Amino acid sequence: MAYAIIQSGGKQFRVSEGEVVRIPSISAEVGASVDIESLLHTDGDTVHVGGDQVKATVVEHGRGKKVIVFKKKRRKQYKKIHGHRQDFTAVRIESVGAGSDKSD
């Protein structure tokens, strides 16, 4: 089974062809094709480190679930509530290791 490790927005993801992955928000239109740098990819037998591209298509942009941050100090009448929603871009992986084929 072919898969790749990609990096986007400081996070790493394990992806395979046909999979839809939510990565941190990128500036690309819905339906556009994007190339994401591959840190590592394998075709089942051999492992290739770096140098290849993973082709993906942008499916949607959105915002994740709200995360509530609640701070409290007992007996001090101190409470603070803060919410956060992370932006994301959902991409469908079209091909793994579709960049320049280097013979190692």
Q: Could you tell me the residue ranges of all domains in the chain?
A: 3-95
Angle at 48 between CA 46 and CA 49, to 5 degrees: 150
Work out the percent of the chain whose per-residue pLDDT is above 90. 72
Does residue 84 surpass a pLDDT of 90?
A: yes
Query: Which one-letter amino acid corresponds to residue 95?
Result: S
Asked if 5 and 49 touch (Cβ cutoff 8 Å), the reply is no
Residues 32-64 have pLDDT tens digits of 999 998 999 888 788 889 878 899 999 999 999
Give the C-alpha separation, 26 to 6, whole Å.
14
